[in-house]
Amino acid sequence: NAGVTQTPKFQVLKTGQSMTLQCAQDMNHNSMYWYRQDPGMGLRLIYYSASEGTTDKGEVPNGYNVSRLNKREFSLRLESAAPSQTSVYFCASSERELAGSSYNEQFFGPGTRLTVL
């Protein structure tokens, strides 16, 4: 049981290049999330997928696209990378989306460290 896996672990891009970050979970979770982590700013939600076939914008979606390929996989694409997208990206999953006061733990992958030059 690997939990949440992310590839690659590290990536360096030049401004304007594109790339896709991959995420997969083996816990049969319905909901998946992409966050970015920047110093002093905690984690900010980029996009999420409450269930297979649906995606929604989070707090900072500009410059990104996502695809929920199937129940297991949720990818994040940068079409034209910018230096402002230098960050650590985390994928997470949960059994279902949070609703009101219902507790619903999110499980995180190890992260992808992306540098855009």
Q: Which is nearer to another protein, 44 or 72 (CB)?
A: 44
Cβ(63)–Cβ(76) under 8 Å?
no
Give min distance, CB of 94 to another protein, in A: 9
Give the tokens for residue 102. Answer: 């219902």
Q: Is 62 a binder of another protein (CB under 8 A)?
A: no
Residues 13-52, mask of contacts with another protein (x by CB under 8 A): --------------------x------xxxxxx--x-x--
Cβ(111)–Cβ(89) under 8 Å?
yes
Give min distance, CB of 37 to another protein, in A: 8
Q: Which residues contact 23 (CB under 8 A, 6 or more apart)?
A: 4, 5, 6, 32, 34, 73, 74, 75, 76, 91, 109
Give min distance, CB of 24 to another protein, in A: 14
Omega of the bond leading into 61 within 30 degrees of 0 (cis): no
Positions that interact with another protein (CB under 8 A): 4, 33, 40-45, 48, 50, 56, 58, 90, 92, 97-111
